[in-house]
Structure 1
Amino acid sequence: MNFSEATFGAGNLDFSRAKFGSGKVDFSKANFRDGNVTFFLANFGDGEVDFYGATFGDGNVDFSDATFGDGNVDFLGTTFGDGNVNFFAATFGDGNVNFTEANFGAGNLDFYAANFGDGNVNFDLVTLCDGSVIFTEAKLATLYFNPTTIGACRIEAEDLSIKNRAVFEFPLSAEALTFLSLQGASFDGPLRLSGNIGTIPDLRATRSTHQVDLSALKVNLRRVWQWRSWPPKLSPVAEDPTDGAKSGRLKEIAETNRDHHAALRFSADENRARRWRETSWLGSVLDMAFSVCSDYGQNILRPLAALLIFTVVFTLLYKAMKTPVSADVGSMWEEALLLSVSNSVPFLPQSSILRTDAIDVLYCGTPSLAVYAIMIAQGVFSFIFLFLVGLGLRNRFRL
């Protein structure tokens, strides 16, 4: 049946319960104007269904409960308006279903409980706006979801079931994505999520029999300030109280697949999400300090720079508290620096000798109680920063 390049007038168009037989159904480059277009309960037979380059207006497009045969279903380059596009409970045969380069408006794209055959379902280079994309309880064989543009939309795929490969590759614009849920989904083949997304994906209760690749996935923990709270929150608080559990699940998956660097990223997000919400106030303060000083063991430069800065600061303190008046100024600075360095790296064999000699010159061998207190404080800070440097090196070069 050939409707290729047909132009339909403005108004609703109803193909409900239509039976198209087993030949090719061709709506390629058809123009449907602005009315609602309904294929509810339509039966397309076993031939190819072609909507290549078709243009829909701002009305709703309804394929709910439609049945497609074993031929390919092609929406390549199709443009949908701002209405909803509905494939609710639609049944597809074993052919490929292709939405490559399709353009969806602000309405919802709904595949709730849709049943796909053994072909590939392809969303490469599609454009999605602000509506919801729904795959809840859908059943697919292979899914390639690689949009080129995403607005502030939601992707809801709870209890999704995919028999073979599932690939979700998000673009930089996916930072506008507000919600991504695969909770309870089942994957009997490899699963890959990659790209920069503006939310924490929900993979809780998912089941996968193959590897889950999260190595190229970057997520954004959304946080807000809570100014009117007691005790006061010293840093922003996670918007979604479930983000801690979501990040923990991502960390668990990364650890299972021995992706240590991804596990560190997700562990850091988990700690930030639980801060102030699930962690005590004092624990949150310590957690914040851990984050600032070393990014949870992911940064080596920060604690190393802090160690050097504190070495200089304590050098100034030791010089300011000198007691002898006979030594020259240059000697005072050298001895104060040696004392500070020896306290910063006390594990070196020479540190003890350098520290004793510097104390003899600066304080005639009898430092005051205040000097001892400063030395103890420096020792504590130095131990912390050296530990963080060691932790960062371990995480960086862990096999």
Structure 2
Amino acid sequence: MQDAALDSAAVLGGKPAFDLWLKGKDVWNNWVESNIDATVDFSYMDFSADELNLDSKVISFDGFIFPKGKTLFNGSLFYSAKLSFIDAIFYGVACFDGAHFPKGEVSFNGTVFHEDACFSLAVFDKGEVSFNNTKFLGLKVCFDGASFDEGDVSFRNTEFTNSSVTFVNANFDTGNIVFEDISNSNNISFKNANFGGGDFLFESNKVTNNLNFNHAIFGCGGVYIRDCVFNGEVDFTEVDFGKGDFELSHIDCYFGLDLSYSTFERGNIMLSFIDLKNGPLLSDNAIFGDGIFSLENLSVNGSYISFCDSTFGDGRAEFMNLKMNSSTVDFSNVHFKSSVEFSQLYSNKQCLIGLNASIFEKSLQIHDWDNCIPDLTSSKTSSHLSLNDVYFKLQRSGDWIKRSTDKNDASRIRRLKEISEINKDHQSALRFNADEMRAKRWNSFGFFRSILDMIFSITSNYGQSIFRPLAFLILLMFSTSSIIVFTSGLTWPNLGCSIELVTANTLPFIAISKDVRVHSIENLFSGSLLPEYFNLLMMSHGFFSFVFLFLIGLGVRNLFRI
């Protein structure tokens, strides 16, 4: 009997709980100090200010301390101008499931929840709802299925100590939603949440795990996520962003950002100053509406970016100042209805920018690319496309025999050459032709052809250089002259005659060359027999001179080609 009495005394509910609350904070807290393990049950009670004959329209629990047992406000009714739990302390689990909060302000500012806090299916009426400077120290903070009416909802300087925060299936009306300077949250989930006409601001926050908006719906308000650190993944898959703007800026994200299958209507989209530490940026099968799309100042470390099968509407799309760092970028099968600009793309190693099988209805601009190869195979462009600012170093492996690491590089570069030729950009076409040949060497080319290709590359850079074959020709002339002098026992004064002989042999098509050759031989050998090697040496010299002269002519022709 004594145990039963203790159990009964450990639960405070109904009218006794009501009467004790009406006596004020000091009396209440003294009781809690003596019954620290008790359970408090206000479930389904009516806290209407009118019914309670309160002097003010405020239902106040300011400074109240609740014991280590559960504190239950499930289904409670708070019909007043204001409900306040400022600086209240809940040592046990706090349950407000299904509670109906007043049309006036609801304040949990400075409240401390030592255990789980549950607001599932709670209804917040038209007033402002604030959890500013609140501490959630439990593992679970649940607002699943809660409804927020016209008032603003704010979580400023709120601390979630490794708490998982969920707003699954929550409904927000026209009020603004603000999460600012929150810290130490484990996961935050807005899965299937419905946001109305207010703005959603998520700023200067640190989330130690994932942020999830999967299947969420936004209305006319904008979504602004700024100056945040996410140690997990940010998930916006299958989100309807409605008519508002979307901004994601100054973000450190460790395990990726996913916008796949999301839909944007008329709002502008700005993704800027995002550092993806390990994970990818995914936006496959997304539909971007008629607003301006901007992706700029993005850093990706060894992962990838993918916009496969997405559609961009009538607003222009800009991709600027992207640092790939050996990553892959995939825009295959993307439909761009307006103009597109890709500028200032950098990578420390070769990076593939896949634009294959994409459709560009208006202008496509590509400039200031470094180590990034655009793959435009099977793509369709409708206007002039300049590639003269696209530079990359073909990634090859091997010490002596360097082979392209990707056999498909040749076809990609061939497409770039084709576009340059269509646009009469001969210099770019030559440059891409050289890279195409390097990509084929030791892959599609056999041994002998690869050797010839390598010689062609060394001696003239595939017909792009005049200096290289000219330098080789001068070296050949001086070497041949030196051989004639030293092997024939001649003296240095005869070096001039040998140079005249070699020059005449190099330029046989000049009329005077024949007479110069005969005169130089007479001066060098004074009518004696010519050395046995002499004719072979001259014929070899003449052959290689012809080759180098041809390469010089090829370089001149390519330089001044109209």
TM-score by length of 2: 0.65
Say which SS state the counterpart of residue 561 (structure 2) adopts.
coil
Assess if the C-alpha contact under 8 Å between 2:267 and 2:290 holds in 1: yes
Residue range with higher mean Cα deviation, 141-150 or 88-97? 141-150
Counterpart in 2 of 1:225?
A: 398
Pick one of 235, 241, 250 that aligns with 1:62: 235
Counterpart in 1 of 2:358?
A: 185
- 1:382 to 2:545 alignment: yes
Counterpart in 2 of 1:109?
A: 281
Assess if the C-alpha contact under 8 Å between 1:176 and 1:197 holds in 2: no
Deviations 1:101-149 (A, max 9, x none): 2333321111000000112211122222222111111111432111353
Counterpart in 1 of 2:473?
A: 307
Matched positions, count: 384
Following TM superposition, where does structure 1 have runs of at least 4 consecutive aligned residues deviating by more than 6 angstroms?
none
- 1:242 to 2:418 alignment: no
Report the alpha carbon displacement of residue 26 of structure 1 after superposing the two structures with TM.
2.5
Pick one of 479, 502, 509 that aligns with 1:340: 502
Q: Matches of residues 142-153 of structure 1 in structure 2 within 5 Å?
A: 142-153=316-327
Report the alpha carbon displacement of residue 9 of structure 1 after superposing the two structures with TM.
4.8
In the alignment, residue 57 of structure 1 is paired with which amino acid?
F
Q: Report % sequence identity.
A: 29
Assess if the C-alpha contact under 8 Å between 1:175 and 1:220 holds in 2: no
For residues 185 and 298 of structure 1, the distance between their equivalents in structure 2, rounded to whole angstroms, comes to: 32
Greater C-alpha radius of gyration: 2
Residue range with higher mean Cα deviation, 161-170 or 280-289? 161-170
Residue range with higher mean Cα deviation, 246-255 or 265-274? 246-255
- 1:319 to 2:494 alignment: no
Q: 1:199 to 1:313 in 2, by over 3 A?
A: same
For residues 504 and 528 of structure 2, the distance between their equivalents in structure 1, rounded to whole angstroms, comes to: 16
For residues 533 and 312 of structure 2, the distance between their equivalents in structure 1, rounded to whole angstroms, comes to: 72
In the alignment, residue 394 of structure 1 is paired with which amino acid?
R
Counterpart in 2 of 1:22?
A: 197
Q: 1:254 to 1:175 in 2, by over 3 A?
A: farther
In the alignment, residue 364 of structure 2 is paired with which amino acid?
L
Counterpart in 1 of 2:66?
A: none
Report the alpha carbon displacement of residue 285 of structure 1 after superposing the two structures with TM.
0.7
- 1:275 to 2:448 alignment: no
Deviations 1:9-65 (A, max 9, x none): 5222111111111232222x14141122111111111222222x2414211111111
Counterpart in 2 of 1:160?
A: 334
Report the alpha carbon displacement of residue 98 of structure 1 after superposing the two structures with TM.
0.4
Report the alpha carbon displacement of residue 237 of structure 1 after superposing the two structures with TM.
0.8
Counterpart in 1 of 2:182?
A: 7
Report the alpha carbon displacement of residue 338 of structure 1 after superposing the two structures with TM.
0.8
Say which SS state the counterpart of residue 101 (structure 1) adopts.
strand
Counterpart in 1 of 2:432?
A: 266
For residues 33 and 182 of structure 1, the distance between their equivalents in structure 2, rounded to whole angstroms, comes to: 34
Assess if the C-alpha contact under 8 Å between 2:488 and 2:531 holds in 1: no
In the alignment, structure 2 segments of 5+ residues that lack a partner are: 1-175
Deviations 1:297-347 (A, max 9, x none): 111111111111111111122324559xxxx94653222111011112222
Deviations 1:159-196 (A, max 9, x none): 11111222222344x13354322221111122223334
Assess if the C-alpha contact under 8 Å between 1:196 and 1:218 holds in 2: yes
Residue range with higher mean Cα deviation, 314-323 or 237-246? 314-323
Pick one of 109, 133, 137 that aligns with 2:309: 137
Q: 1:108 to 1:329 in 2, by over 3 A?
A: closer
Counterpart in 1 of 2:138?
A: none
Q: Matches of residues 18-97 of structure 1 in structure 2 within 5 Å?
A: 18-27=193-202, 29-51=203-225, 53-77=226-250, 79-97=251-269
Counterpart in 2 of 1:350?
A: 512
Residue range with higher mean Cα deviation, 297-306 or 29-38? 29-38
Report the alpha carbon displacement of residue 82 of structure 1 after superposing the two structures with TM.
0.6
Counterpart in 2 of 1:200?
A: 373
- 1:287 to 2:449 alignment: no
Q: 1:106 to 1:116 in 2, by over 3 A?
A: same
Q: Relative contact order, CA 8 A, sep 6+: which one is greater?
A: 1
Report the alpha carbon displacement of residue 361 of structure 1 after superposing the two structures with TM.
2.4
For residues 528 and 310 of structure 2, the distance between their equivalents in structure 1, rounded to whole angstroms, comes to: 79
In the alignment, residue 331 of structure 2 is paired with which amino acid?
A
For residues 184 and 482 of structure 2, the distance between their equivalents in structure 1, rounded to whole angstroms, comes to: 84
In the alignment, residue 14 of structure 1 is paired with which amino acid?
S
For residues 355 and 49 of structure 1, the distance between their equivalents in structure 2, rounded to whole angstroms, comes to: 84
In the alignment, residue 102 of structure 1 is paired with which amino acid?
I
- 1:373 to 2:536 alignment: yes
CA RMSD, 1 decimal: 2.1
Higher strand share: 2
In the alignment, residue 188 of structure 2 is paired with which amino acid?
L
Pick one of 279, 289, 293 that aligns with 1:121: 293
Assess if the C-alpha contact under 8 Å between 1:359 and 1:365 holds in 2: no
Say which SS state the counterpart of residue 175 (structure 1) adopts.
strand
Higher helix share: 1
Pick one of 296, 299, 305 that aligns with 2:462: 296
For residues 493 and 305 of structure 2, the distance between their equivalents in structure 1, rounded to whole angstroms, comes to: 72
Say which SS state the counterpart of residue 542 (structure 2) adopts.
helix
Residue range with higher mean Cα deviation, 183-192 or 142-151? 142-151
In the alignment, structure 1 segments of 5+ residues that lack a partner are: 227-233
TM-score by length of 1: 0.90
Say which SS state the counterpart of residue 201 (structure 1) adopts.
strand
